[in-house]
Amino acid sequence: MDRAKILVTGGAGYIGSHAVVELYEAGFQPVLVDNFANSQERALDGVERILGVKVPFHRIDCNDVEAMRAVFAEEGSLRGVIHFAAYKAVGESMQKPLEYYQNNVGSLLTLLQVMREFGVEALVFSSSCTVYGIPDALPVTEQTPTKKANSPYGATKQMCEDILRDVVGLGSDFRTILLRYFNPIGAHESALIGELPLGVPQNLVPFVTQTAAGIREQLTIFGDTYDTPDGTNIRDYVHVVDLAKAHVVAVQRLLDKIGDKVETFNVGTGRGNSVLEVVQAFERATGQKLNYKIGPARAGDVPAIYADVTKSVETLGFKTSTSLEESLASSWKWQLALKK
């Protein structure tokens, strides 16, 4: 089979590794770039065990323009790029704003420069629901106005979106799809790849699974006095494999040159669940009793956000097929596999 080569930056990361599997299974040839800033070789082993083939991998920093040129030259005939590589911890971005702007904005600029040099004209970009800030109305559509970012991380995603719109505005054949992810959770059904948080997890689901596994003593729910039905925050938790599949559709759409030259899509389930609902769903799905307490609110948390996915469903044919319980069960299976 003649597989179209797609460069996947951050391909060893949580979402990237799942996208690599889905790309290959859909008939593409993913070519991976990662510097292991927030991932490990284990993810590549997992991908290769799932697929039963070796995947081309380049251990380089996407900010290194010479190294990126060398990858484009060596691989030849790249048809498109999915740019996952970025730093993603909101709290850390407050402490290290320069590193975040450099890595997230800088790597996109370098990538765009090299894509132009090599005539590669299709890019899927990892954006985030963080661009909506605290929305005035729910659910959020792609037309919902973005708000001033409340972290350097969020600002980098807004800046990258603006940069891409400007590049498209130049009127070349360059096309891009901006995927605004909501909260990805879960792991591949094989439990060979999944989220590998380094240190104490900042995100809810890895903290939940580590608590159930006895690695953390207790989950603290960050506040229960929000203006939501049970007082805890509401999010849209999307299974990572569903999310990964959206990238396959997006890449194909770019290669087929369908639609506007810049398009934005929400990638969520369209369902909002509270933190307490996540805890209860986890207990139901796994039979584990979770040790948790209610603590103070976390600074900067959005009280409630979930996606209107009408545009993704109608335009991309995107459909999430995984329930919250199934997603959490897959996170738990991955947590158990990590011990082995």
Should residue 301 be labelled a site residue for ligand WQD when binding is judged by CB under 6 A?
A: yes
Should residue 203 be labelled a site residue for ligand WQD when binding is judged by CB under 6 A?
A: yes
Cα separation, 30 vs 51, whole angstroms: 12
Stretch touching ligand NAD by CB under 6 A, among 11-19, 251-259, 305-313, 329-337:
11-19
Should residue 88 be labelled a site residue for ligand WQD when binding is judged by CB under 6 A?
A: yes
- Of the residues 57, 87, 207, 282, which one makes contact with ligand WQD according to CB under 6 A: 207
By beta-carbon proximity to ligand NAD, the closer residue of 201 and 231 is 201
Q: How far is the CB of 171 from ligand NAD (least distance, A)?
A: 27
- Of the residues 31, 44, 47, 62, which one makes contact with ligand NAD according to CB under 6 A: 62
Q: Which of 153, 181, 226, 306 is catalytic?
A: 153
Catalytic, 14? Answer no
Positions 154 through 213 that interact with ligand NAD (CB under 6 A) = 181, 183-184
Q: How far, rounded to the nearest angstrom, does the alpha carbon of residue 176 sit from its chain's CA centroid? A: 16
Q: How far is the CB of 298 from ligand WQD (least distance, A)?
A: 5
Binding partner at 175 among ligand WQD, ligand NAD, none, C-beta below 5 to 8 Å by kind:
none
Asked if residue 139 has a cis previous peptide bond (ω within 30° of 0), the answer is yes
By beta-carbon proximity to ligand NAD, the closer residue of 63 and 141 is 63
Record the tokens describing residue 116, joined without a space: 């132009």
Give, to the nearest 10 degrees, the angle between helix 41-51 and helix 14-25.
20
Say if residues 32 and 55 touch (Cβ distance below 8 Å): yes
State the distance between the two ends of the chain, measured CA to CA, in whole angstroms.
36
Q: How far is the CB of 313 from ligand NAD (least distance, A)?
A: 19
Binding partner at 273 among ligand NAD, ligand WQD, none, C-beta below 5 to 8 Å by kind:
none
- Of the residues 6, 7, 14, 151, which one makes contact with ligand NAD according to CB under 6 A: 14
- Name the residue type at position 273: N
DSSP single-letter state for residue 214: T
- Of the residues 42, 48, 56, 63, which one makes contact with ligand NAD according to CB under 6 A: 63
Specify the 3-state DSSP secondary structure of 297.
coil
Stretch touching ligand NAD by CB under 6 A, among 5-13, 205-213, 286-294, 319-327:
5-13
By beta-carbon proximity to ligand NAD, the closer residue of 85 and 257 is 85
Neighbours of 49 (CB within 10 A): 11
Cα separation, 165 vs 176, whole angstroms: 9
Binding partner at 275 among ligand WQD, ligand NAD, none, C-beta below 5 to 8 Å by kind:
ligand WQD
- Name the residue type at position 335: Q
Say if residues 210 and 282 touch (Cβ distance below 8 Å): no
Stretch touching ligand WQD by CB under 6 A, among 47-55, 74-82, 198-206, 248-256:
198-206
Binding partner at 330 among ligand NAD, ligand WQD, none, C-beta below 5 to 8 Å by kind:
none
Should residue 126 be labelled a site residue for ligand NAD when binding is judged by CB under 6 A?
A: yes
H helix intervals, the chain = 14-25, 41-51, 65-75, 90-95, 97-100, 107-118, 152-169, 204-212, 240-255, 275-286, 310-311, 324-339
Positions 116 through 155 that interact with ligand WQD (CB under 6 A) = 128, 130
- Ramachandran angles phi, psi of 212, nearest 5°: -60, -30
- Of the residues 39, 144, 151, 327, which one makes contact with ligand NAD according to CB under 6 A: 39
Q: How far, rounded to the nearest angstrom, does the alpha carbon of residue 324 sit from its chain's CA centroid? A: 17
Say if residues 144 and 307 touch (Cβ distance below 8 Å): no
Cα separation, 25 vs 58, whole angstroms: 21
Q: Active-site residues: which are they?
A: 153
User: Which positions touch ligand NAD (CB under 6 A)?
Assistant: 9-10, 12-16, 33-39, 61-63, 84-86, 88, 103, 107, 126, 128, 181, 183-184
